Amino acid sequence: MTTLFNCTFENNRLYDPTPHPPGNGADMVSVSGGTVEVAAAAAHDGSYGVKFTPTQGYRAWMMMACGGLRKLRQRFWIHPNSLSIATGNSFRICRNGHYDASWVAYDIGLGYASSSYYIYWNIYNGTYSSTQANGSSNINITNAWHRIETYYQTGSPGSMELWLDGVSQGSVSATNPDALVNLPALGVAGGPGFTISGSFYVDSWQANDDGTLIGA
């Protein structure tokens, strides 16, 4: 197994600009709107995590440069915290962060409905595509720390399985042999198209390229 990165943020910094192998922070943090900051309050493990304060319409995300991956297993902890989302709305928190806005490959969304936060994930068709192939149903989560782990694979078909707190929530598939992942991204990965306030937390973002279980 090759660990691609292991962002713990324990050095109380957003970046770890040295080249891979893994460091404490992200390769890149891009803020078009809102705020991204390391914060003690955002720590699930150790002393620090990352706090995202979104603003309507803009991304604010972390990216890791990984080259073209046919397999990506990643795990992160997320806490919705005080995030206020008008019911029935959601936004992306995780995707392939290619420079081309349409090269999605996969994404994970965070939303709010029926008095509960929820997550979902999608996988996308082919190459250079923003066309969703298949998506999961919404899965409710509480306002607490949750461990999300995913395993994305390209193929004919390819697939993406998601585990919530160690329990598989199923898998979605697509024909995506060329939809390589090159920039795993996490945070406000899609500008919320609605009024949003508050913050959410992320910590302990780790990934490998062969699908080995990461776990807690």
| Residues lying near other proteins in the complex (CB under 8 A) | 12-20, 25, 27-38, 55, 58-60, 63, 65-68, 97-101, 103, 127-128, 178-180, 182-183, 191
What distance lies between CA 201 and its chain's CA centroid?
A: 12
CA angle 182, 62, 98 (to 5 degrees): 30
Q: Which is nearer to other proteins, 17 or 166 (CB)?
A: 17
Count CB-CB contacts under 10 A for residue 112.
18
For the bound state, the minimum distance from the C-beta of residue 140 to other proteins, rounded and expressed in Å, comes to 30
Contact (CB, 8 A) for 130 and 102:
yes
Residues 6 or more apart in contact with residue 144 via CB below 8 angstroms: 79
| Integer-rounded Cα radius of gyration of the chain | 16
For the bound state, the minimum distance from the C-beta of residue 166 to other proteins, rounded and expressed in Å, comes to 31
Q: Measuring CA to CA, how many Å separate 139 from each of 38, 40, 112, 116, 197?
A: 28, 28, 10, 10, 22
Q: Which is nearer to other proteins, 87 or 194 (CB)?
A: 194
Q: Which of 64, 52, 56, 63 is nearest to 21 (CA)?
A: 64
For the bound state, the minimum distance from the C-beta of residue 145 to other proteins, rounded and expressed in Å, comes to 22
Q: Which is nearer to other proteins, 26 or 85 (CB)?
A: 26
* Coil, strand or helix at 42: helix
**Rounded CA gap, 89 and 117, in Å?**
10
For the bound state, the minimum distance from the C-beta of residue 153 to other proteins, rounded and expressed in Å, comes to 15
Q: Which is nearer to other proteins, 29 or 164 (CB)?
A: 29
For the bound state, the minimum distance from the C-beta of residue 179 to other proteins, rounded and expressed in Å, comes to 8
Residue corresponding to tokens 């990165």 = 5
Q: Which is nearer to other proteins, 136 or 153 (CB)?
A: 153
* Coil, strand or helix at 178: coil
Q: Which is nearer to other proteins, 65 or 139 (CB)?
A: 65
For the bound state, the minimum distance from the C-beta of residue 53 to other proteins, rounded and expressed in Å, comes to 8
